[in-house]
Amino acid sequence: MLECDLELGDCPWTRLAEGPVSGTLLWNGPEGAPVSVRIRGAHSRRFPRKSLQVDAVDCRLPDPPPAEHTVRRLHLNADYIDPTRMRSALCFRLFADAGVPAPLCRHTRLTVSGEPLGIYMLLESVDRDFCRRRGWKPGPIYYALNRNANFSLVSPTTRSLKQPLETGYKAVARADFTPLRRMLMDLNLAPDRTFAAVADRCIDVEGYLRWLLVAVFVGNRDGFVHNYALYRDPDSGLFRIIPWDYDATWGIDVHGRPARLDRVPIGGWNRLSQRLLASPSIRRRYRRLVVEMLNGPLSPESVLPLIDNLRSRLAPWIDKDVQTLAEGGDFSTGVQGLRRWAVERRTLLLQELERL
């Protein structure tokens, strides 16, 4: 288990509630690095256990692999609502197995100003370092922040045209919103008869369908209208979708309450997924992918060993997690819930496939 120490001085949580706090991070080397830390998240910041964003100050943080790789930003996710502390890690592993670019993550035992906080998820930021690690050319990146990032021209809140069209997104490193606006216009205004061709010119359709299926499989209802990032390849001009924030999955909602097995339909529920699956050729591609993935990396034979291996690695540390879990949380019961979901969710999706 990786150890991560943040030294933020006295009364860190009082000061963090007011804004960023300067301090020192020690996590992957013999010497501490100067950092700026703030509480991150929207809904999650109301929980007793806070998630943190860590930014390097006048330096870069060592983060292999690959050798000599460095990063400027890290995220420490509390995953408070998840009694297993496994959901995010399992989701990102399934995305990777499905061929979808996803943030690297690892579990760590976090200490803040001498106070042990238990198990956190150390998560790679989606930024230029994310691109560099994967050999991608630097390109614009946009974070989907709220329900307005639904791939539509119409706001689900106001029921009117978005003003501006990039409402719901945040640009990384002050990226130009022009390509994002153009993509949204093209995908929404293309006639049905030419939509498939337009989609292939705007987005990595295969990557999107793979992302869609994994998001559907793990039941991330929020993931279709926010909790994702978009990267635009400067050579091809295609947008790639990258998952983000996956603790409210595998049968729990954003409050940690039980979520129904059929809560997320097989086609997801944003505007882009609707248009893609309305195209006969793309729907056929998705149907083939569903069968292939549910009999491969999303099959019980693949998923259950992942759950069991992660459980065996975390079990010795869970009892030492001094932070209170969400009400009703229990590690062993939670793990059994993950195993049931892996089996029953696959069965349900195969039944829904007949009607797709």
pLDDT digits (tens, 9 = 90+) for 166-189: 999 999 988 999 999 999 999 999
Structural domain harbouring 60:
2-124
* pLDDT at residue number 228: 97
What's the structural domain count of the chain? 1
Task: Please report whether residue 343 resides in a domain.
Answer: no
More confident: 324 or 147: 147
Question: In 125-143, which positions are buried (b, 16+ CB within 10 angstroms) versus exposed (e)?
Answer: bbbbbbbeeeebeebbbbb
Q: What are phi and psi of 128, to 5 degrees?
A: -65, -35
pTM, full prediction: 0.95
Is the pLDDT score of 321 beyond 80?
A: no
Residue 62 has pLDDT above 80, yes or no: no
Helix (H) / strand (E) containing 101 = none
Residue whose token pair is 């924030």: 245
Integer Cα distance of 236 and 246 in angstroms: 29
Q: Evaluate whether residue 269 is within a structural domain.
A: no
Q: Is residue 153 part of a domain?
A: no
CB 252 within 8 A of CB 259: yes
- The answer to whether residue 114 is domain-embedded is yes
Would you say residue 49 lies in a domain?
yes
- Rg of the chain on CA atoms, in Å: 20
Nearest 5°: the CA angle 102, 251, 170 is 40
Cβ proximity of 22 and 33 under 8 Å = no
Average pLDDT over residues 139-163: 95
Whether residue 344 lies inside any domain: the answer is no
Query: With 70 as the cut, is the pLDDT of residue 143 above it?
Result: yes
Please check whether residue 36 lies inside any domain of the structure.
yes
Residue 89 domain-assigned (yes or no): yes
